[in-house]
A and B are shown apart, each in its own frame.
Chain A
């Protein structure tokens, strides 16, 4: 009898462990936002249905995912779209959630993060009637320099890949950090999330930016890990940042999603400076955020939703750099005290030269040159 109870109890526990999350998901009702009635441009008929699946780090990372969510919520508000979001717990969830959205009849499915590349390509090929968009998609280079889908075949018409030239924005914030360091210890830091080519673009642009204003400066960099969890490990972010501060870093730039929270903690405890990423992160360590390298993820999500709504969706790769305002640096009232006019002039001049094509920001550490 006891044994029976034990087995029943164990099974019940296991059941909750495995399916506990499922209850929550089914209970979450879709967010339905009705279009304002006085909007003459509002489309007639059923509103466009958009499903968005978040990256590692999830909602509340105050960086990458939150930026995507802002864009989506704006689309819901201003365009009257029906939007739904999901936060995957692990790799298999991403595919499952997107498939579920497709089966439920979503018109547009957005995957937030490079990690969706393979799954979303396969899904897009299997479901040509549904539209797919992927932020930070990792395309493959073809033999003639053209960009192919991640499976090495030409892009399907129903998949748009949004990529950013992060190296350009990173170079600007690198130039800003380099100028500060030049007046101090001549050391700056970088904390990356997962070690992948995408994040190396940040590191390379940043390092080149530092060297462009301070050839004698040293950049200490480290990555939080080599798996997706590295974007959601603030404890590691804090330890890495503290180790970089020990080596004299004046400013630390992070490109690590939620992991960066630890970087902000470390710099505010040590009284040094950090540079935020993806969103304006000035609030993460008030008075201690030199600037943020913002990536227009919100804008991109909004635009894709708007294009789809208007019937203008086109597949392929869209690259957004400084020129397209896809990336930029924050220079506003909140960091005025930290950015001197002379520093700003140097950064703005560099921006002009990158846009004009006179300076090319490196996309990998191998391309970084010390003048």
Chain B
């Protein structure tokens, strides 16, 4: 039996076995090459230059070469932001537990959608409430016009609502060490174990 015939037989058997059962055989037997990564490049991460909760300048230039997890929230939000920040906290603990925060290779960033109210002091207080570890997680603000540019560049938006809140999309961006967005999570996909798996994959890639 030739190698080709053997492969065909194996594929036939694998396909048969895959009917109704978990199997990766289908993809393996269709003759296609595996994609380079399950996390495709979605877009270039826009640059930014803002200040953190201690007033220190933080920007994409100073974070070059790190894996970034970037959320957009505001501290007086009573919509999705508390849940997002809570989840980000769980992610931070998961990453720490797996040693993925060692060596300052991974940073979490939360950019305010409401820079007028979210001053550095307000952000510091908010971080304490969520037990955010500033060693690897920064909350960023800046002049409203500058923050507005950053929000728009990331494809985000924030619109005032009648009840004094801000309507906004809920997205968290995962950026690789080359500065490419590789995943966009909503709350359901912002699971600590899944994010850790994705971060580990990005750290395993060449810079």
User: Are A and B physically bound partners?
Assistant: no
